[in-house]
Amino acid sequence: MTRLEALARWLETKCNIDGSHLEPASSDASFRRYFRITQGERSFIVMDAPPELEDCTSFIAIGKLLRSAGLRAPELFAQDLKQGFLLLEDLGASTYLQALQTQKADPLYRKALTALCTLQGITVQSSDGIPIYDGPRLQTEMDLCPTWYLDQHLGRPLNDEGIKIWNQATAAIIQNCLAQGQVLVHRDYHSRNLMACEPGPGILDFQDAVLGPITYDLVSLLRDAYIEFDEEQQLDWLVRWWEQARAKKLPVPDDVGECFRDFEWMGVQRHLKVLGIFARLHHRDGKSGYLESIPLVLSYTQKSCERYSELRPLSRLLADSHDQLSEGFSF
């Protein structure tokens, strides 16, 4: 029996839903799959998460935590953890990325910023089992860049001097990130994981939440790998978020300039990770669609690095890796 057949049988026997008309609902960078199914006038989302590859328990726990704070995470109607099946509330078919084709960005993003402050204000208990975004985890994520992007994708492995530059830069980045206020972090709070629904935004893909730097999700939102906003707009939203965060007594700097610096350094950490992940998705998993977002992510990284003397050698390292490529290379 295939997983799709097993999923259909589970829906019919345990949920009293005809599972013969499952329609793909969205793609995912992980091994999870999502389907939409209609029962009468209601529609549901069905998650298929192979238990040997994905853990549904964190999705369930974090979803409950978000909903308890008044955020719009999908309700859970049924579960089978042994098989890796969840029956979820359908928050609609329009992500922020899709909604931006017909709606103005500012109203959508002001809602997202308000929701983010609420998320960051959630008190996390040790019993919640949420991982800490510590130094080794931050380093491991950044190291995906030289492994998968520079070496595997570009064919430009780091030499001894490059390794020295890399180690110095990433150590400085980690120091900055760990010095920031630590809050609940979604880790993928961007236009593909926010739904344009009412009340909204709907929040998806939160299962990898951690306790970590307060600017991380702000970077995910404002320096999105899938859509670019001009820096003036980014700054306007950053200041609005910072004002709300201060009003809620979240752990942000008193000076907005210092907050922007933290935002930039956190952005470099995230974007180095993303470069590695997008290259890995292509080379290991055969998901090549993410490659088209690499130029934007690389641009974010280099612009931020150029603004700070400690990170300029890293910017040159990335630039040199591209300059040495043979003519005709494309992402």
In this structure, the dihedral spanned by the alpha carbons of residues 104, 105, 111 and 117, taken in order and rounded to 10 degrees, is -170
Residue 181 lies in a domain: yes
Note down the domain range covering 118.
96-323
pLDDT digits (tens, 9 = 90+) for 105-122: 999 999 999 999 999 999
What pLDDT does residue 324 have? 56
What pLDDT does residue 327 have? 39
Both 82 and 103 in one domain: the answer is: no
What pLDDT does residue 330 have? 43
Amino acid present at 327 = E
Both 205 and 147 in one domain: the answer is: yes
Residue 267 lies in a domain: yes
DSSP state of 50: -
From 33, 63, 89, give the residue that closes a domain.
89
What pLDDT does residue 326 have? 41
What pLDDT does residue 39 have? 86
At how many degrees (to 10) do helices 256-283 and 135-142 cross? 50
Both 157 and 44 in one domain: the answer is: no
Radius of gyration, CA atoms only, the chain: 21
- Report the chain (331 residues): mean pLDDT per 10 consecutive residues: 91 90 76 89 93 92 96 97 96 96 97 98 85 97 98 96 98 98 97 95 96 98 97 98 98 98 98 98 94 97 97 96 55 39
Both 117 and 15 in one domain: the answer is: no
Residue 331 lies in a domain: no
CATH of the domain at 184: 3.90.1200.10
As for how many domains the chain has, the answer is 2
CATH of the domain at 32: 3.30.200.20
Nearest to 158 by CA among 331, 328, 324: 324
From 56, 89, 122, give the residue that closes a domain.
89
Both 109 and 56 in one domain: the answer is: no
Both 229 and 308 in one domain: the answer is: yes
- Tokens 């893909």 locate to 205
From 29, 61, 89, give the residue that closes a domain.
89
Residue 210's φ and ψ, nearest 5 degrees, are -140, 175
d(CA 279, CA 211): 26
Residue 292 lies in a domain: yes
Kindly report whether the global pTM for this prediction surpasses the value 0.85: yes
d(CA 243, CA 256): 9
What pLDDT does residue 268 have? 98
